[in-house]
Amino acid sequence: MDELEYIRLKKMREMMARSNSPTNVSGTPTTISDGMFDDFVKQNPLVVVDCWAEWCGPCRMIAPVIEQLAKDFAGKVAFGKLNVDQNPATAARFRIISIPTLLIMKNGALVDTIVSAVPRDYIVSRLKPFL
């Protein structure tokens, strides 16, 4: 294999790895799991994780707000959705006992938590100091 072919192969692998990475600042919430939680948080400078469950009425009420915020803050904030019933390890790690719970993480560290279905403006006001 010549040097040029080696470089092309290396670049191709890097591009494929990036396309499969959990990074998301695209404007849509990413479904995240226990297994990818840490990578998602580390690869995005500012993250909001919506911890929810299917049976939770308030979680369903706040879901459209989270989707709209993901669009409004695209390129600035990555939004993730973590189903606590399917991902108990992360729920336990952050001591989530009420849902919905929004975890605001900056540079891999938890910087704020919002519990309950709250208005959009309240979420924005808690998020803005970290932008």
Q: Which residues are catalytic?
A: 56, 59
Which backbone phi and psi does 21 adopt, to 5 degrees?
-75, 160
Per-residue b or e along 64-101, where b marks 16 or more CB atoms closer than 10 Å to that residue's CB = ebbbebbeebeeebbbbbbbbeebeebbeebebeebbb
